[in-house]
Structure 1
Amino acid sequence: MSSTLLATANQFYLLQQKKGRSFPHHGFTPRAIAAKRFAENTTTLSLSVGFFLPTMTQVHQQLEQLTVERDDIPMEKVVTTVVEAIKDNLVLFGDKLARLAVQTVIACGLAKKNKPYMNSVVYLWNVYPGLHDHYVGETLRYLRLPRFLSSLFGPHALKSDVDVFMQDISAAAAAEDSMKRAVLDMVADSVVDMVRVLLPPWLLRGPALSFKRRLKLFGHDILMRFTVAVTKVTGAGVGRAIAGHRGEYWGEIIGVATASFLFERISAMFLDYKRAGRIGSKSEVERGRSRSHSHGKDDVKGLTSKPQKTGERGRREGRR
């Protein structure tokens, strides 16, 4: 990548920032961006961690369960178990590659704009996977664990790219930089999720749900991804304010980790509020019914009491 700065830092942000990053021009063509991301996610290590290892784990667990249920396992059952595990994990790995492909298409579209802000989005999206190797490697070194383990988390980052991430910036700038990637990821995931709704369930090896049910789950996933984006951006900003560039990186990860818990709490509160509203409306209806019923009884009593009085008068007059 070229080290020539495009412009002042404020050109890379929507909001005016006192201290923002200055991004170098990525210098990538759409074809180069696609080739780089494809190469990163189809290495032997990526295939092993993303496909082969989960498949072997699933086969092992299912065969172990079969041995508990029965002493002898037919060869046909073993072959069926292996084939089913391969199919399941092919769908999962294909889903991951599809999301990365949509991200890449969006990044290529932004790169064609050749504008400072779009450049910063593409640069951050392109560099971020390599930051895992750097910061996880720092943690492993501190814990005196083998440094090579960090390669399991992503490709190796260039020193120039790490230096850009380590620039002294404000918490607001860190939050906006995190938001750039979060929005790109959320849009790509939403596109793939919508395609999954339109595809037949058997093709994705999922439960046979109705289209209406799948559409409802799609809405649930959208809300969940929005929560992840908000917690990610918040974590990056707070982390940068507390602990600099390391805080920005780890704060974003902590934010993602807490997203599921917060989403469940908010959903539970919303359901409780909705349930309380339903109970309140039912009680009001019941009160209205009881009031109308009591008024009806009073009216009936009034109508029946008047003839009784006229009857008593008639009997008195007859006695006289």
Structure 2
Amino acid sequence: MIPSLARMTAIGTYVPKSTLTNYDFEKMIETSDAWIVQRTGIRERRVAAKDEYTSDLCIAAIKNLLERYPVSIEDVDFIIVSTTTPDFPFPSVACQIQKAFGIQSTGAIDISAACAGFVYGLQLANALITSGMNRKILVLGSEVLSKVTDYSDRSTCILFGDGAGVALVEKCEEESSFLYATSGTDGKGGIHLYRTGLSSQIDTTTLSGNTKIVQNGREVFKFAVNTLTREVPKIIHQAGFSLEQLDWFVPHSANQRIIDAVCDRINFPKEKTLFSGEYFGNTSSASIPLALQLGMDAGKLKKGDLILLSGFGGGLTHAHLLMKWTV
């Protein structure tokens, strides 16, 4: 178990209005709705407007949080944003959020851990609060992946969508949310999922993509399934629980086939997983908060439930957080 004096007290989400369906893709590339659903579980994804960026999605998600819960953010003392699609290299998205809400005294950082980023953000928030450095933190995962998707790449363009989620994490000595956390990295797999930047080479491999997402789907699939199959039972056991006690498994919603394969291997009921990809696509760091919100809206998630969040993706990275649902 990890030290924790932190509690998640509220969440909010936002997705853009424009929808890109599988039937739209039938007009763009050689594919079909049935093929996409069978291979990914995705039917639709949301697409940001031309003038809509990651910071806009974050601000909308925070407004959604404030509409749903009787909380304030004026006294937030740290903002953490996980994104691979910031508006600019700098200023950070977190700084733009501070400006938008006029928060007077707060730290602000962006972190880059791809699809594991939201879980990393929660781990960091717990550490900052438990250490005594901070008391109230906004943790966001937000992406506009449509702006970096190569729509001529048949194997990847069907996957990605845009969205944002936010959690408010506060100091609470009576009942913490966070029970156990782990993370890991396989940097050798970085060549299997990337966007080019200032450098166009990893080790001796020359990269392609022209700033768009490039993914070796087969290798990422293997990494995700093998990693989750190994880590999930180990995490539950090390935390002193059994898989039978886990109420909800909330992995990154990359692909329904990944989640099904993991559940089959560890003998965990698929109906006890939360997936946001069906109507939002793969939203990278936003997929887990979107799945949590869908679970709440459907009446599935209840206070006191034992849940495991598992993020995995570019890096290659993975991060896991076992928690008691307190929202």
TM-score in terms of structure 2 length: 0.26
TM-score in terms of structure 1 length: 0.26
The structure having more radius of gyration, on CA atoms, is: 1
Whose strand fraction is larger, Structure 1's or Structure 2's?
A: 2
Whose helix fraction is larger, Structure 1's or Structure 2's?
A: 1
